[in-house]
Structure 1
Amino acid sequence: MNLHNTSYPATSKPEELVPSRYALKVGEIDVLVVSDGVLPLPTTMLAHNADPAVRATWLHDMFLPQDAFDWALNAVVVRSGDKTILIDAGLGSDPDLHLPRAGQLIKRLEAAGIDLSSVTDLVLTHLHMDHIGGLLVDGVKQRLRKDLRIHVAAAEVKFWEAPDFSHTAMPPGFPDALRATAKRFVKEYGSQLRQFDEQHEVAPGVVVRRTGGHTPGHSVVRVASGGDGLTFAGDAVFAVGFDQPDWHNGFEHDPEEAARVRVGLLREIAASGEMLVATHMPFPSVGHVAVAGDAFRWVPVFWDY
């Protein structure tokens, strides 16, 4: 399966007349960014430690609504050698939180011509429900390979045995849904987990590295080949994090550490000139990072047709 310059079957319905997949090459490695849809969330989730007036000004300057807006949800498929790797699995079925426009990943993988049985490895940046829920959709497990390897940081699995939400600032219902989804996931897929401590090579040129911060075992994935590189940053980076990297996102379990991780990662990617993709950056979320004084600047790639 070559994800680049491939003719995909025209299976989208009229309501799917939106861009939902974007293919690119990183050296000899094929990468496909796939949209799982969007999550409507309160804008306070972007920065619960910020002065409301300053936050309101940022939203105004970005032409965004003041009360709530749509957070993108992105996952990535990587083909390296004989391995097909899915990075994160989307929200899955709506967990009684009224999120009808998310959970699109499985049908969009199908529309892209990607059979679930072809996935040899799954990398989870962390165990929040919008990254693992797709695996809990009815019928999905039966379509996955019996020898599927699921790579996740050991610290992440340990954390969800008794998660601490004391430093988060989530809307009502989210903590319970997160806890229940993680518990169910570990119960159903525990035997297939391949836990690592700090860093692990999943396939040639595909390395997952624990960063912590957002959650204790939060990880990022770097894809590198032929002098090119791309980092999938999971939830380490949000749209507001370039202008205001010290603003605390409501889902961060250790906001101070998450801010340090974010700054360090953005500096690293800016210095390398490599590409960045992140879960909640606007689709297709492919771009570069530039340094802008004490902050950063997001530079989206020009779409490659």
Structure 2
Amino acid sequence: MNLNNAPRADTAAPEELVPSRYAVRIGDIEVLVISDGVLPLPTKMLGHNVDPAVRAAWLDNMFLPADAFDWSLNAVVVRSGDQIILVDAGLGLDPDLNLPRAGQLVRRLAGAGIDLATVTDVILTHMHMDHVGGLLVEGVKERLRPDLRIHVAAAEISFWEAPDFTHVNMPAGFPDALRATAKRFAQEYHSQLRAFDEEREVAPGVVVHRTGGHTPGHSVVRLASGGERLTFAGDAVFTVGFEHPDWYNGFEHDPEEAARVRVRLLTELADTGEQLVATHLPFPSVGRVARDGDAFRWVAAFWDY
């Protein structure tokens, strides 16, 4: 991976209408945000614990459709020293899901000039299917290094042995798909999993830290180099979470704890002024967090051409 070959606002491939990768430098660490596509979901997933009229008013104020809209799916490639780290692996290409605009990560990694065989480490923020599915695409495992290290919280691995879906609010079929994908992933990559308890430095300036909430082992990745910092927040933050951090997302297995995690993280990011990238913020999802009364405000970065 070389930022010289990955301009900040990349020229789209001929079949694409918009760019699908965006480069950022954090000190000596190179970061490439890559879009895995978009996932259409019911708008109820943004805040199933609030009055539908209140949720509808927020959507209208944001010029978003009332019934369903496209969630971005973002992954990150990080180069620190001689390590190339993939943070999350996208949705994959399960034909039973009928999601043709998602699962683009493997193809877009190739388009960015990133050979899967050069990836030394994978960090998983958690084991939902839109974060591990790309590693289950046919032919991918054979292209990965045999000594690839996959870092994931021990609590996450344990959770998916008998997952609890009693507090989620998902469309029909999603719990079964999530359960099956996590089980298959754990079986296929068991020998390459490198579990950690609370925190691990994966490479110089690259630290994965367990937050819990969204899932028991949900983690964020903190990058720091040369006085600059960036956090990849995984699913700790959603579009609505700045103005309404207490709204429950339908995929949260412990929504009360997830809300507490979100407030703590957003408070810290507002205090430090560091950059934020998250899985489901609109691509490329690079920006900062500002305080706005008792809540927060998302300040998207100006694209650097």
- With normalisation by structure 1, the TM-score equals 0.97
Counterpart code for 1:210: R
Question: Which digits, 9 at most, give the CA deviation of each residue in 1:22-65, with x for residues without a partner?
Answer: 00100111000000000000000000001111000000000000
For structure 1, which segment, 86-95 or 13-22, has the greater mean C-alpha deviation from structure 2 after superposition? 13-22
Indicate the residue corresponding to 2:271 in structure 1: 271
Indicate the residue corresponding to 2:150 in structure 1: 150
Distance, in Å, in 1 between the alignment partners of 2:182 and 2:254 is 18
Residue 94 of structure 1 and its aligned partner are, at CA, apart by 2.8
Q: Which runs of 5+ in 1 are unaligned?
A: none
* 1:11–1:111 Cα contact (<8 Å) kept: no
Q: How does 1:212-223 map to 2 (within 5 A)?
A: 212-223=212-223
Question: Which digits, 9 at most, give the CA deviation of each residue in 1:169-224, with x for residues without a partner?
Answer: 00001000000000000000010000000000000000000000000000000010
Distance, in Å, in 2 between the alignment partners of 1:164 and 1:53 is 29
Q: What's the secondary structure of 2:289's corresponding residue?
A: strand
Q: How does 1:37-48 map to 2 (within 5 A)?
A: 37-48=37-48
Distance, in Å, in 2 between the alignment partners of 1:4 and 1:215 is 37
Distance, in Å, in 2 between the alignment partners of 1:301 and 1:80 is 23
Q: How does 1:166-181 map to 2 (within 5 A)?
A: 166-181=166-181
Q: How does 1:49-198 map to 2 (within 5 A)?
A: 49-94=49-94, 96-198=96-198
Distance, in Å, in 1 between the alignment partners of 2:13 and 2:35 is 15
Distance, in Å, in 2 between the alignment partners of 1:217 and 1:297 is 27
* 1:47–1:55 Cα contact (<8 Å) kept: yes
RMSD: 1.4
Residue 3 of structure 1 and its aligned partner are, at CA, apart by 2.5
* 1:5–1:23 Cα contact (<8 Å) kept: no
Q: Which runs of 5+ in 2 are unaligned?
A: none
Distance, in Å, in 2 between the alignment partners of 1:149 and 1:296 is 36
Q: What's the secondary structure of 2:72's corresponding residue?
A: strand
Q: What's the secondary structure of 1:253's corresponding residue?
A: coil
Q: What's the secondary structure of 2:132's corresponding residue?
A: helix
* 1:211–1:218 Cα contact (<8 Å) kept: yes
Q: What's the secondary structure of 1:200's corresponding residue?
A: strand
Distance, in Å, in 2 between the alignment partners of 1:178 and 1:95 is 15
Residue 11 of structure 1 and its aligned partner are, at CA, apart by 9.8
Counterpart code for 2:98: H
* 2:6–2:112 Cα contact (<8 Å) kept: no
Indicate the residue corresponding to 2:24 in structure 1: 24
* 2:11–2:19 Cα contact (<8 Å) kept: no
